[in-house]
A and B are shown apart, each in its own frame.
Chain A
């Protein structure tokens, strides 16, 4: 994580980078309309400031470049954040080019955290108002500049499509491109009025994406596509056991012309192209000292998680007195545990970074979800300051949380330190899967009881799992509570009067844990929505009716459940061994109700027949992108439920590639209907809600289809085929 001191150092790059980027985008002179204060302030911004000049540049021909602080990794953020800016600035979307903002927290950090980070479904939530204000400020400066030039009252002027228009004088016009030099000298207005909803032209509309035309013709450049003169290619093998070291490398069969790099815990081969580097690496006989973690396997790891989960945790929330209610509950009480496995991210673009170590620092290219942290990590590795790192962030071939970590930056820089000139370090798919920062495994220990009214009287939930914050920071939890493990368990209590939630850290020894699409709600929504379904069955109620009875305190979620039941023909007849399952969740600021329809064959294979989702994400920016994220998120979650399982033997991850770490394919992909409920509420996140809704809706559908309740993921086909008892 970058400290304030580091970011102010990085800020020294800001003006130079901005002008360079602007020039590159315009193909000629591009005028950013910098505030007078911008030069000093941006040169060394002492603290976070929302500065319109940092985001917008307008060329004389009216072309507009936006520096987008969030990373494009498929979620459409280049387009959606551009919509916020362009609508308020009042420019034609066809004239807009989104560019990656340089790594400067003080200018491009989230208005919430003041850090650059693309994760947690926060981009729209954090930037919705801020970037509208930036766009509106820019528009006001254009109007002011025109008023000065024409010597009229700015209040008499209006704007349209990148022009200021003076209706009182025959509709004369000045383009933003003409006005930019004058506007650049004006102070940014402190208070601006945002457009009324009825005047919005881009926000809330299914505007075409700006990043996709180059993604259908091979032109889009991802980190792995970086090329330059003198570039060498490397591939690497890191210790297959966490904490292990290189013991010995036999390089007697290494082909000539290749460079062997042996570090403490990494062996890399550098060559003229990937094939040469890979053949070189394959020619080596490497032995490793695994150390203590070499004794771990999945059985032992799960034994430790279960032992930890049996202990009392730290209370994160406590409503009522669950212990007392459960003690007297008798047969109305259920005690259940749900377990989720370790998972790999497996983005389609394997990890890679291109690094040229020089001039006491380095220049580097790659895709990161945390631009300033990537710079800080490189600086620390080179024992230098962040201003010596020149980072060119690239399009991401998938993130899903994998690129919130910077281990790939550090490893690439370490290899590059041994290489003369620039080197692109590419992970093989096997290395990508076996050297991940895995979604933690979890065990949820839960109890609940029903009251005489058929509603839930008490509910306890103890979450046991690894804390990503601890692994990332290296510091222990404050008070034993990992806030990052709670979302999805604590926000929606379904009106249950006695409702404690506990957390206990169960740190895995042999694997590093990381943030994975859906983060904590991955675990918590699976546990809570599974238990809701089991309680409905126990109460003898229909699962939808049971949820609705508990949602009086969450009317937006209730509306989503009602609508999804209708759209999915809930209760309608289905073939034998087919069933529908529901998930009703509130997390990432978004309400989503999902019905999955699945069937199970005699071999225990589950097929998803169709899916309906109804989502209320408040104010939305691009409804088509939202639907795409829900569709894709559901597939990501279903893939995990059907196949996702990282296992360990002798401290080593056993899965290697897409043949044994399976991803759902076209022939398994169900139709997915997404319906949006529009509400004028604060925007919710959309990148992750679909992902977390997938597994519980599927497992609940399987229960409806077969009568078999699966309490552990991925789904066990032996249990569903009757070859094994649950």
Chain B
């Protein structure tokens, strides 16, 4: 049994230590907003926060997490930067199919957490790990800049 701090709540789950956090969230806890895209940390659809930093949950063994705070897309709107990013996303309609956008929003929020006023190269560096097959990058870049202006 593993106890995890997810979105401010403790969750005890029957999971082997090597089970990636992604599948614990999706299949055991029932938080399906975090997505499976590749399973090898290439696409970023599974991005969540550990203590406010973006991590790829598809390769993160739950046994390695300990007491660190896990935040998922379902609760990111409760943080100031998460709420700003979500609003900026909707204001200019970033989203198309939306499947990758949980991960995009988690990466973008983590970027604002450490770099309140990111330039293009900051955005490239923070977001290059998140693939969007619909090709919404132009709007993601703009939305991050718009969100930063509201900080």
Contact = CB atoms under 8 A, between A and B. Distances in A.
Contact of B128 (A221, A429, A628, A665): A665
B133 A346 contact: yes
Interface in A397-414: 397-400
Q: Most chain-A CB neighbours within 10 Å: which of B98, B124, B129, B130?
A: B98
A76 B86 CA distance: 18
Given A208-B93, A429-B37, A657-B38, A220 B98 contact: yes
B97 A274 contact: no
A224 B37 CA distance: 11
Interface size bracket, A side: 35 or more
B96 A74 contact: yes
Interface string A375-409: 00000000000000000000111111000000000
Contacts of A213: 90
B38 A658 contact: yes
Q: Most chain-B CB neighbours within 10 Å: which of A218, A227, A395, A631?
A: A218
Nearest to A224: B36
B101 A209 contact: no
Interface in A78-114: none
Interface stretch (A117-125, A538-546, A632-640): A632-640
Contacts of A395: 97-98
Nearest to A666: B127
Contacts of B36: 224, 274, 350, 426
A664 B134 CA distance: 10
B32 A218 contact: yes
Q: Most chain-A CB neighbours within 10 Å: which of B76, B123, B134?
A: B134
Contacts of B76: 217
A217 B27 CA distance: 18
Contacts of B137: 635, 664-666, 669
Interface string A652-688: 0000011100011111011110000000000000000
Contacts of B40: 429, 657-659
Interface residues of B, number: 57
A150 interface: no
Contacts of A273: 19, 23, 27-28
B52 interface: no
B95 A216 contact: yes
Q: Most chain-B CB neighbours within 10 Å: which of A426, A665, A670?
A: A665
A222 interface: yes
A463 B22 CA distance: 46
A348 B133 contact: yes
Contacts of A212: 89-90, 93, 95, 98
A218 B72 contact: yes
A666 B33 contact: no
A62 to B, nearest CB: 24
B73 interface: yes
Contact of A218 (B20, B33, B95, B139): B33
Q: Is the interface of A mostly helix, strand, loop or mixed?
A: loop
A75 B96 contact: yes
Contacts of B102: 218
Contact of B32 (A221, A632, A672): A221
Nearest to A211: B98
A429 B93 contact: no
B131 interface: yes
A665 B131 CA distance: 6
Q: Most chain-B CB neighbours within 10 Å: which of A76, A208, A350?
A: A350
Contacts of A218: 31-34, 72-74, 102
A160 interface: no
Interface in B26-83: 26-28, 30-40, 42-43, 45, 72-74, 76-77
A658 B43 contact: yes
Interface string A425-448: 010110000000000000000000
A32 B127 CA distance: 46
Given A216-B95, A220-B98, A666-B123, A632 B35 contact: no
A273 B24 CA distance: 8
Given A212-B98, A272-B27, A671-B138, 13 more contacts: A216-B98, A216-B101, A218-B72, A274-B27, A348-B43, A348-B97, A349-B37, A398-B97, A398-B134, A625-B93, A667-B125, A667-B127, A669-B138
Interface of B: 16, 19-20, 23, 26-28, 30-40, 42-43, 45, 72-74, 76-77, 86, 89-90, 93, 95-102, 105, 123-125, 127-141
8 contacts: A215-B101, A274-B23, A275-B16, A429-B39, A631-B136, A658-B131, A665-B129, A666-B124
